[in-house]
Each structure stands twice: as structure tokens, then as C-alpha cells.
Amino acid sequence: MFLFELPQPKLSLFTHAITIQNLGRKTAKNVQIVHKRKPDFFKLQPALDYKESFTPAGEHVVTVDTLGPKDFFAIEFLSYATVAELLLIRSEEGPAVPIQIQPQRIFPKWFNALAIGLLLVGAGFVAYWIVRAVIFISKNIGIGGP
């Protein structure tokens, strides 16, 4: 999220975005994003069909009919008068669970394969020496064989 203060005319712009993803195995129906008040501007990326409505308490609701398994979209906000205050995200299947994320560097596939290989070799090395230690200790306390 970003806050831009423009000198001419004196104006503050506030931007932020949320990403909504269906991590389940079934299609989520009637995905609703509920805000305390209607944001000044918002846009869905990728562009999806949506409906806007208001609750009796005046809360703004954006509804996306369906969201397939492993599918996602982002909703981006630009505010200058009314900051978008998110209340909840839900679907017919239940409420959404917020997850904090951060950008992560993507390494080449060869590097990931090498790292996994070294981890497996290291784990095998540790397991070998644990087994050797158990055999050594069991022999010294008289449990093991000769």
C-alpha cells in the first residue's frame, strides 16, 4: 500500500491491493469482499464479472459469482476521499483466512535441484551417524551383540 501526497492540487492518494485465491479443491461460490464504505475506485485484475451491493448497514459488497480451485484475482484500490476499510471476505463455503505474504526471490531450477540434493545427502549423513551412535551406545551398555 502506498500514500501519495500531491502538491498541486493538495491531495492525498492512497493505494493498496488484496489478492484472493481459492486454495481448496472445489469451486468457491459467491465470493464477497465487504468494505465499511464504498472505495473511491477499485479494479479487479484479471477482469472478472462482479456485482456491487450494499448491506442494510451501508457496507459495500463486491460479489464474484465463482472462483475455481487454485484460481485467484487481485482487487486494487485507489482512494482520495474514502479509504477502503476491509471488513471481511467470505463465500458460501465459509469465511476466508487471511495469510500474510511477501515477495520471494525465484531461483533457477538447477539451483533448487542442487539444494534439494545437498539437503538429502546431509539428512542421510545425519541419519547414518545417529544409527552408528545408537549401535555404539547399545553395545557399551550391554544391550547389543559382540
Separation between Cα atoms, residue 131 and residue 94, nearest integer Å: 48
Reply yes or no on whether the pLDDT at 35 is more than 80: yes
Q: pLDDT averaged over the chain?
A: 89
52-99 pLDDT, tens per residue?
A: 999 999 999 999 999 999 999 999 998 888 788 899 999 998 899 888
Residues 6+ away with beta carbon under 8 Å from 120: none
- What are the domain boundaries of the chain? 2-95, 105-146
**pTM score of the predicted model:** 0.66
Query: What are the distances in angstroms from CA 82 to CA 6, 41, 44, 65, 123?
Result: 17, 9, 18, 26, 54
The pLDDT of residue 2 is 66
Domain spanning 2-95 has what CATH number?
2.60.40
Q: Is the peptide bond before 46 cis (omega within 30 degrees of 0)?
A: yes
